[in-house]
């Protein structure tokens, strides 16, 4: 103990020096405002394990100890300097029959080198509530947010760990998120973003990882009936469609692939003339059949490949021209 400290202690009233240590600490604690009173692990009378540092200030009447409490690093969630989560959102199919809206597939992948704490929700509505920001715009322009909600009378999440390179994948049905909609014919827009704000609020920041990278295949889709029954386009034979458009299937092709690499798309060569077009236009379509069977030609004319015989024929459903659809 320094000489200054001993001198200061000697000036304390004798009655206070003669009090037991526990009594003096208790009296000091009563004199402090409630907001200033915290406890410390190294004092048997102060037991709060969250106190992490101590400020000492001297008052004219004696020694006053002020403790500032903070969360110890060992108990805090240590977020990485950059989020290790890659989020992909895919809306499919982008064209469907009225009454049958598409699905939104969400994949969250751990790109980091360390395991990542993650919260799984088996309920579609709870997953959307805690991880996504969604807004659906109806054909008439009216915006809606999910009405299903998520009841948390009993916590619906399951704690797990995403290993490096592992992913959590969920397929969400829009009819479950927006119950009661008629899903009539028209163009819909779905604004979808990864947003774990609600989870952060419930779990004090834990499990609420933001996305380092986010991609969204969408955001609009059409509900429309096909124009007439399914049709077959045979090689080199012009096919007149119900709205007056003309399609000619020319040939198929594919790309050479490497072992372990992605599969080749079905490359299709066509000629297409819109109902008001002056002449046939040559078109090349690359279809990844494991992802989609829809393709667009011309200025938004939509087809669905139902079946095909390589280089011989294609069975198609034709939807005509749909707003918002464009050729890739």
The verdict on 237 and 218 lying in the same domain is: no
- The whole-number pLDDT of residue 34 equals 39
Which of the listed residues 182, 206, 223 is the one where a domain comes to its end?
223
Q: What is the pLDDT of residues 212-259, one digit of tens each?
A: 888 887 688 999 999 999 999 999 999 999 999 999 999 999 888 777
Mean pLDDT (the chain) is: 77
Range in 39-43, 70-74, 171-175, 284-288 with the lowest mean pLDDT: 70-74
- Domain count of the fold of the chain: 3
Q: What is the pLDDT of residues 290-310, one digit of tens each?
A: 778 889 998 889 999 999 999
The verdict on 185 and 124 lying in the same domain is: yes
Q: What is the pLDDT of residues 139-148, one digit of tens each?
A: 999 999 998 7
The verdict on 162 and 237 lying in the same domain is: no
181 part of a folded domain = yes
> Are 308 and 299 in contact, with CB atoms under 8 Å apart?
no
The verdict on 92 and 216 lying in the same domain is: yes
Take residue 175 and report the two structure tokens written for it.
Answer: 């009819």
The secondary structure element, H or E, covering residue 167 is: strand 167-173
Q: Are strands 132-137 and 186-194 parallel, antiparallel or unpaired?
A: antiparallel
The verdict on 89 and 219 lying in the same domain is: yes
74 part of a folded domain = no
pTM: 0.65
The verdict on 147 and 205 lying in the same domain is: yes
Q: Give the structural domain span for 255.
A: 231-321
Distance CA 179, CA 147 (A): 7
Tell me the average pLDDT across 189-204: 91
> Are 45 and 26 in contact, with CB atoms under 8 Å apart?
yes
CATH number at residue 182: 2.60.40
- The string of DSSP codes covering 221-258 is EEE---SSS-EEEEBT--EE-TTS-EEEEEEEE-----
């Amino acid at each position: 103990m320094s000489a200054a400290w001993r001198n200061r202690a000697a000036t304390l009233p004798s009655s206070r020096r003669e009090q037991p240590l526990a009594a003096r600490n208790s009296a000091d604690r009563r004199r402090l405002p409630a907001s200033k009173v915290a406890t410390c692990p190294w004092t048997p009378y102060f037991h709060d394990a969250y106190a992490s540092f101590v400020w000492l200030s001297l008052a004219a009447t004696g020694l006053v100890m002020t403790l500032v409490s903070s969360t110890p690093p060992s108990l805090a969630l240590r977020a990485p300097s950059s989020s290790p989560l890659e989020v992909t959102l895919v809306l499919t199919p982008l064209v469907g029959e009225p009454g049958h809206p598409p699905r939104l597939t969400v994949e969250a992948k751990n790109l980091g080198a360390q395991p990542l704490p993650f919260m799984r929700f088996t309920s579609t509505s709870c997953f959307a509530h805690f991880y996504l920001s969604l807004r659906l715009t109806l054909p008439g322009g009216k915006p809606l947010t999910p009405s299903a909600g998520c009841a948390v009378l009993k916590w619906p999440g399951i704690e797990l760990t995403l290993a490096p390179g592992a992913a959590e994948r969920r397929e969400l049905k829009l009819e479950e998120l927006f119950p009661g909609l008629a899903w009539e014919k028209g163009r819909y827009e779905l604004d979808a973003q990864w947003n774990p704000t609600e989870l952060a609020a419930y779990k004090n920041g834990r499990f609420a990882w933001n996305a380092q990278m986010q991609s969204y295949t969408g955001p609009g889709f059409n509900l429309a009936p096909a124009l007439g029954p399914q049709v077959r386009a045979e090689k080199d034979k012009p096919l007149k469609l119900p709205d007056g458009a003309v399609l000619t299937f020319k040939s198929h092709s594919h790309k050479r692939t490497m072992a372990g690499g992605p599969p080749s798309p079905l490359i299709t060569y066509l000629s297409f003339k819109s109902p008001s077009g002056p002449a046939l236009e040559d078109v090349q379509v690359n279809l990844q059949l494991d992802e989609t069977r829809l393709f667009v030609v011309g200025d938004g004319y939509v087809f669905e490949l139902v079946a095909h015989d390589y280089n011989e024929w294609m069975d198609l459903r034709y939807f005509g021209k749909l707003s918002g659809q464009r050729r890739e």
